[in-house]
Amino acid sequence: MIRPGNRPPEVAILLPSFAPMDAIGTHVVELREALAGAGLQARIFADEIKPGIGAEALPATELLNARARDGRFILYQLSTNFHRYRGLMSRPEPLVVQYHNITPRAEMIGFDHGIATAVAWGRRQLEDLRLRAALGLGVSRYNADELVAAEYRRVAVAPPLIRPLAVPDNPKRYDEGAHRLLFVGRLAPNKAQEDLIAALAVYNATFSTPATLTLVGSTTVEAYVEYLHSLAHRLGVGDAVTFASGVPQDQLAGLYATSHLFVSASRHEGFGFPVIEAMRAGLPVVAYASSAIPETAGTAALLTPSAEPEILATAWHMVLADAGTRRAMVAEGRRRAADFDLTESKLANLRALANLIPIEGVQPSLLYYDRRADSRAEAKA
C-alpha cells in the first residue's frame, strides 16, 4: 500500500447513486464539507451520477480500481443494492458503513419485480458487509438496531445532515379555504400514499371543510403511480390530489409555508427527513407510528396507531379544527427540529467517525453497540 507521509486521513464517501435534491445526496455533500472542515481530505464517489451534479462526484470505478493507500478510509452509504459491491468487498482500506435503511422486498414485489429483487440484494449486502466493516453507523437508533441484528461488531448512531430550507413566514396560513395537506417522499409503495388518498376521501365525506392533498416526490415505481391516480379518481378525490415531481427547493419551501398539515402514512422509514423539514417550517405533523417515525418525531407529532383511513382522517381533523392544538404542536415541532441542527449534526457525525478515523480535536462518541464489551460482560456473567 502507498504510504501517505504526513498527509491527513482521506475519506472516500461512496454511494450507489448520487442525485441532486436527494436526501442522501444532500447528506453526503454536507458530510464531505464537515470532514474537510475538520482537516481531512474527503471526496464523493458514486456508481450512478445523476444529471445536474456537475463536479460534485467522481465515478465509483476511480476509487474501486485505484491502488490501495494507507490513511484512506471508505465511508459507504448503504441504502440499496450496489452493483459494484464485490469491488467494495475486495478493498483493503478500513470500511465504515453508514446505513440509511433499505425498503423491504415485500413492499415492492406487487408492483415491480426488478426493484423488489434489487432491494432484496441490498439486504443481503447489508449482512455480508459486516464481514468487512470496522464500524457501522445508523442514521437512527432504528437503523442501528438493524446493524446490531446483522452482527456488525461496532455500531454508533450519527444523524442525517438535513440542510435547512428557506421557508418564508406565513401568518395567514390558516385563513379560510380548503385545508391543504402535504406529504413529501418518493412515490413508492412503502410510502403508502394510497392510505393518504383513502383517508382524504373519508375526510372530505365526513367534515364540512374540504381538504386537498399534495404529494411531492419522484416516481420510483411507475405501476404504483398509475395505481395512485386510478385510486384517487375511483374514490372521488381525483381533483383534490396533486402530484408534484421534480420540485425545486424554493418551490418546496413555498409548499411547506402554505400547507396546513404535514401527513404521513409511510410503513417504512429509516429516518424520515421531511418530518423534520415540516417541523422546521412550523407545520404540524400527523403520522402513522411506523418504523423510525416515532423516534424521529419524538413527542412533537400526533402519531396514529394504524393507517386506517378513518383513524388518519380523525387525527387530521383533531389538529385542523383546534388552533390551540396546532400552536402547541408547532412550538414543540420547532423544538424537536432544533435537535437536528445542521452544525450539531455534523459534529455528531464526526464524533461517531472518530471511533475509527483519527480526527484532530474530535472526541469519539460513545458506541451504541460494541461486541467486544458485550462479550466481556457475558464472560463475567
Average pLDDT of the chain is 94
Number of domains in the chain: 2
132: DSSP letter: T
pLDDT tens figures, 253-285 = 999 999 999 999 999 999 999 999 999 999 999
Integer angstrom CA distances of residue 230 from 223, 224, 226, 237, 256: 11, 10, 6, 10, 26
Domain assignment present for residue 58? The answer is yes
Residues 193 and 151 in one domain: no
Residues 158 and 74 in one domain: yes
Distance CA 202, CA 199 (A): 5
Model confidence, pTM: 0.94
Distance CA 155, CA 141 (A): 10
Residues 364 and 278 in one domain: no
Domain assignment present for residue 53? The answer is yes
Question: CATH code at 86?
Answer: 3.40.50.2000
Three state DSSP letters for 140-174: CHHHHHHHHHCCCCEEEECCCCCCCCCCCCCCCCC
Distance CA 60, CA 107 (A): 29
Which span out of 55-64, 90-99, 160-169 was modeled with the highest average pLDDT?
A: 90-99
Predicted confidence (pLDDT) at residue 4 exceeds the cutoff of 60: no
Domain assignment present for residue 172? The answer is no
Per-residue pLDDT band for 1 (boundaries 50, 70, 90) equals very low
Q: Which three cell numbers stand for residue 366?
A: 460513545
Residues 128 and 234 in one domain: no
Domain assignment present for residue 174? The answer is no
Distance CA 256, CA 276 (A): 11
Contact 180, 374 (CB under 8 A): no
Predicted confidence (pLDDT) at residue 3 exceeds the cutoff of 50: no
Q: Work out the percent of the chain whose per-residue pLDDT is above 90.
A: 89
Residues 149 and 297 in one domain: no
Domain assignment present for residue 346? The answer is yes
Residues 199 and 317 in one domain: yes
Per-residue pLDDT band for 2 (boundaries 50, 70, 90) equals very low
pLDDT score of 22: 87
Q: Which three cell numbers stand for residue 1?
A: 500500500
pLDDT tens figures, 286-338 = 999 999 999 999 999 999 999 999 999 999 999 999 999 999 999 999 999 99
Domain assignment present for residue 277? The answer is yes
Domain assignment present for residue 365? The answer is yes
Residues 239 and 371 in one domain: no
Which residue has 458530510 as its cell numbers? 31
CA 2 to chain centre: 36
Q: 113 is in which domain, residue-wise?
A: 10-162+342-380
Predicted confidence (pLDDT) at residue 224 exceeds the cutoff of 70: yes
Which residue has 405533523 as its cell numbers? 285
